[in-house]
Amino acid sequence: MLTRKLNRKAKINEETGLGTNTALNGGRFFNNNGVPNIEAKGLPLWRSLNIYHTLLSMPIWKFLGSILLFFFTVNLFFASLYMYIGVDHLGGMVANSKSDQWGEAFFFSAQTFTTVGYGRINPIGFAASLTASLEALVGLMSFALATGLLYGRFARPRAFIKYSKNALFVPFKDGVALMYRMVPYTKNYLVNVEVKITLALRIEEEGQLKNKFFDLALEIAKANTLTSNWTLVHMINENSPLYNFTKEDIESAQAELLIFVQGFDESFSNTVISRASYSFAEFVYGAKFVPMFHPNENNTSTILHIDKLDDYVEAALPIKM
């Protein structure tokens, strides 16, 4: 049934990029946040960890937590070295109990690592002095790397765009349209914004499940600037790959919308890209979005309610899906 329908649809984009056999991939192609749903295997451990890019892209609380964990681990390691060398090689230590000596060694390590050096405790002998010198070198290199990572996180161009939680099948112009909306959530607005949407379907051909990719036409795909919310509309007509599809057809084909947004950010003076994805489980049939902006009391400016991005109400479709 799906094969016959697809033969009447828009031209298929043959450059799938992932092959056509779905036995080679599982689940959705992209996660909600636009990150590809792929796990790379077969790389050396240090390459598979991809530490630099991971530290640049992870949430800020994880980044700060990683820095604190590294700081604590390094100082614990050097404190253990000082204890192994012997506390008699740390001049100025006044602690008597073993636990207090551990504390003194740890905080001496922290002072050496950060090159603060209060001066009360000092290394005595070759082994302790060499260890302190190596720790100071590690500290200088570590702070240089941390500073570079902090700068990279703040200076990295990003498209600050939020997407609606669901894509809706909406009654529109005596027919049905597929819609989702997005909104910028910072004041570095984009210009020359372009949106492309690809529909991924999994169908059976010759007894084998295959991926098929279609470019979806949008009523408006380009905008001079993105300062408010933007509802993207794909009209489902004879030229749409979803024409005459029922809800059951869409679910059996495991439909997924792949969203690609590109624009120029004047603050960074650079082109930024954003991605998102909607799987068939995130489609809502028979609904329309609630307006999320209105004029202020004096009618002198527009108030935009970003917290209403996901809000919608039911709306009867002219056809059953």
Runs of H (alpha helix) within 114-168: 126-155
**pLDDT at residue 69 above 90?**
yes
pLDDT interval class at 22 (50, 70, 90)? low
* pLDDT at position 50 over 80: no
The pLDDT score that the predictor gives to residue 155 is: 81
Residue 10's pLDDT band (cuts 50, 70, 90):
very low
Q: Residue 270 CB: number of other CB atoms within 10 A? A: 12
Q: What band does 193 get if pLDDT is binned at 50, 70 and 90?
A: very high
What residue has token string 């749903």?
37
pLDDT per position as a tens digit, 226-281: 989 999 999 999 999 999 999 999 999 999 999 999 999 888 888 999 999 999 99
- What is the radius of gyration, based on Cα positions, of the chain? 29
The answer to whether the 45-155 and 158-314 domains have the same CATH topology is no
Answer whether residue 307 shows pLDDT above 60. Answer: yes
pLDDT of 3 over the 70 cut: no
Per DSSP, 217 falls in state P
Q: Which CATH class is domain 45-155?
A: mainly alpha
Question: What fold is seen in the domain 158-314?
Answer: Immunoglobulin-like (2.60.40)
Going by the DSSP 8-state scheme, the letter that residue 36 receives in this structure is B
The ranges assigned to domains in the chain are 45-155, 158-314
For residue 130, what pLDDT is reported? 94
Closest by CA position to 80, among listed 92, 66, 98: 98
pLDDT of residue 70: 95
Q: How confident is the model at residue 15 (pLDDT cuts 50, 70, 90)?
A: very low
**For a pLDDT cut of 90, what percent of the chain falls above it?**
56
Closest of 133, 145, 139, 23 to residue 82, by C-alpha? 133
11, pLDDT greater than 60 = no
